[in-house]
Amino acid sequence: MGYDLAGGLTGWDMEGFQSGGDTELWKRLGAHVVTIPTDDGGTVTGTRFSVWAPNAQAVQLIGEFNYWGGDEMYRLPGTGVWSRFIEDRGTDTLYKFRIQGPDGVWREKADPMATFCESAPSTASIVYESQYIWSDDEWIARREKAQAHQEPMSIYELHLGSWRKGLTYLELADELVEYVKWQGYTHVEFMPVSEHPFEPSWGYQVTGYFAPTSRFGRPDDFRHLVDTLHQAGIGVILDWVPGHFPKDEWALGRFDGTALYEHADPRQGEHMDWGTYIFNYGRNEVKSFLVSNALYWVSEFHIDGLRVDAVASMLYLDYSRKEGEWVPNVFGGRENLEAIDFLRYTNKHLYERHPGVLMIAEESTSFPGVTRPVHHDGLGFGFKWNMGWMNDSLRYIEEDPVNRQYNHHLMTFAMVYAYSENFILPISHDEVVHGKGSMVNKVPQDDWRKFATMRAFYAYMWSFPGKQLIFMGQEFGQRSEFSEERGLEWWVADMWGHGGLKRLFKDMNDIYRNEPALYALDSDPAGFEWIASDDAAGNVFAWVRTDGVGNKVACLFNFSAEPKNTYGIWLPQAGVWKEILNTDSPAYDGDGNFGNYGQVIAREGASPWGDGAGATVCIPPLGAIWLKYDASATAELPGDMGLA
C-alpha cells in the first residue's frame, strides 16, 4: 500500500503564504490529523507534519513514534515548506523538527505552528485536534452587532497563574467566572496565554504563538474557560505579542540556521534592552504567520479582543536605540513603515472577518491616528491605552494631600487630548511591579487616608471619559506588589478597608453599567462638561457626564483631607440630583459622616457664578460623590426646600 509521504500538501496550498495573503496558516502548516488516499483506492489516517524552513539543507521529523531518531521530510518545490505524513499517529503525539542549516549544523526545533506544547522545561510540540463544542452562539451574535465605543467596558486584567495559585483552566471556569460576574466587570483581560518557557516573563516572551500554555490544562480546557465567561456575559481580551520573540535555541530564533522570522541586521532585528528578536514585518511569510495568529485566537478560541503589546517598539526604528544603532526607512525617517503596514493590515482584516472584535494598542507615545480607521490613514485600532492619563493621575495621588494643590494640572490635563483617540484608562500590572509598590501603598500617610484616597481615585477613574482597566488585587487593595510566584492575598480581602474597596468596585460596576451617561459618549466631547476644574487650593474636581438623550450624572471629588461641607457648585439643570454613590459610606468602610441625605437640590439663579442652576453640596474628605439628575422628582420639589 503506497501513499503520498508529503501527506497531500502541495505547492499550490502555500501560494497565499508566500504572498502574505494566507491569514489562516494554521490550517496548512503544523501538525494535522488527516485521511489521505492510497494507491490501491483505499485511505489511510495519520498526521501530516509541515514546516517552513526555506534555507535548510534537510529536515527530519523526530518524535516518540520513531524513538526521536528522525524520518526524512519532503520539500515542496518552490515553497521552502517541508512535509511528512506519519501513519496511525494522532492527538497527543510528541514531536520536533531536526533542521540542517546552510552551515551544516543540525538544530532541534519546536513547531512554530504547534497548537499544544509541553510545559517548560520540556520543549516538544504535541499533536492536538480540538473536540470542543461551543455554547456561546448568543454571545457571538451580540458581539457582531456591538458598538463598543458607546457601550460600558470595565476590564479586569489578570495573570492566570497567580490569580489563585495552582488553579487549572477548568477550575478557573468555576471560581474566576463566579468572582468576575459578582464584581460586575464587563471583560477580563488575560496576560499572554501563549506558550512561553520563562514564568517571570508573564507570557510576554512567546515560544508557542498558536498554543495556549499547557501549565493550566489542554487547549479545549482553555476554550471551556472562554465559553463559560461568555455564557456569564463577560468578554475575553487576550494580550498579544507580535513585537518581539525570545532567542531560545529550540524556538523561532534562527529557525533554519538563518534569520528567518527576524531581521538579520541586529540594528533592525534585535531589542538590546529585552534580549529578544524583532519580527521582519516586511517578509510576506512572516506577515502571514502573524496575521494568521491574530485571527487564530479570535476564530478558534472565540477571543473578543487583542491588546497588542509594546506597539511603540514596533512603530519606531530608533526605539530605545542610540544614534548609529538603527537604520532609517527609505525616506530617511524613524518610522517603521513595514510594521505600520502590518498593523494596518491586521486590524483591517480582523475587523472585516469578525465585526465587534476589539483591537487595543498599548502605545506609549503620541503617534498620530492610532485609533483612526485605516481608510482615513490611521493604524485602525479600536482603542488605545491612555498612558499619559495613567502617569499623571498616579503622580497626583502619590503626593501628600497638602501638596496636591501644586499639582492640580495633573488631573485636568488629560482633557486636553481626551478625544484625540478612543481611550482605555489603564491601571495595569505594569504599575504594581518592579519596585513600584502596590496601588494602596502609593498613597502617603495612614490607612484611613490610603483607603479613602483609593476609593475616591477609582470613582474618579470610573467616571472619567474612557473605558477602564484595573489589574487583579487592586479591587481589594492588596498591599504587596504583584509577583507571579504567589497568588493574590485573598486572606485580607474582607478585612477593614480591603473589603470596603471590594464592595465599592461591585457597586461602581453596577451603577456604571446602568448609567449610559457614564459611558455612551466616552469618545465625544458632548458627553463631558467641567463644573469645577480650577479649585487647586481645595483639591476639588467636578464634572457632568451625559449620554446626549437626557441622562446626566454629576461627579465630584475632594482629594484633600478636609470635608467640603457647604461647597457651592453649578449644575446644568435645576431640580433633584440623587446621590447614587458616596465613597465615604460605611458600606465601603468610610466614616459615613459626610453626605447629602440622599439628594441635592439645584435651583435656577443659585449658581455661585450668578447664573444657571446651583446647589450646595457636601463632598467627603478624600472622597467622591456621584449625583444623578432625576427628572421625575422635579415636579414634586417643594417650593420652600433648602439648597441641600
- Residue pair 100/59 in contact by the 8 Å Cβ criterion: yes
What's CA 374's distance to the chain center, in Å?
Answer: 21
Kind plus residue range of the DSSP H or E element containing 540: strand 540-546
Collapse the DSSP code of 568 into the 3-class scheme (helix H, G, I; strand E, B; otherwise coil) and give the result. Answer: strand
Cell triple for 630? 432625576
Close Cβ partners of 574 (under 8 Å, ≥ 6 residues apart):
602, 603, 604, 613, 634
Close Cβ partners of 304 (under 8 Å, ≥ 6 residues apart):
143, 187, 235, 236, 237, 298, 356, 357, 358
Pairwise CA distance, residues 378 & 372, whole Å: 4
- Residue pair 108/97 in contact by the 8 Å Cβ criterion: yes
Pairwise CA distance, residues 592 & 191, whole Å: 38
Phi, psi angle pair for 474, to nearest 5°: -70, -30
Nearest residue to 357 via CA among 288, 421, 298, 289:
298
Pairwise CA distance, residues 120 & 242, whole Å: 21
The neighbouring-strand residues paired with 457 are none
Pairwise CA distance, residues 123 & 323, whole Å: 38
Nearest residue to 263 via CA among 243, 248, 247, 283:
283
DSSP summary character for residue 118: P
* 3-state DSSP helix/strand/coil % of the chain, to nearest 5: 30, 25, 45
First CA to last CA distance, the chain: 91
- Residue pair 577/629 in contact by the 8 Å Cβ criterion: yes
Phi, psi angle pair for 486, to nearest 5°: -145, 160
User: How would you classify residue 606: left for phi > 0, otherwise alpha for psi between -120 and 50, otherwise beta?
Assistant: alpha
Pairwise CA distance, residues 63 & 127, whole Å: 11
Cell triple for 326? 538603527
Nearest residue to 4 via CA among 43, 32, 33:
43
Query: Where do the DSSP E strands lie in 74-231?
Result: 74-76, 81-87, 94-100, 106-109, 125-126, 154-158, 187-190, 194-195, 208-212
DSSP summary character for residue 644: -
User: How would you classify residue 314: left for phi > 0, otherwise alpha for psi between -120 and 50, otherwise beta?
Assistant: alpha
Nearest residue to 84 via CA among 74, 69, 70, 96:
74
Mapped to the 3 state alphabet, what secondary structure does 240-298 carry? ECCCCECCCCCCCCCCCCCCCCECCCHHHHEECCCCEECECCCCHHHHHHHHHHHHHHH
Kindly list the catalytic residues. Answer: 309, 362
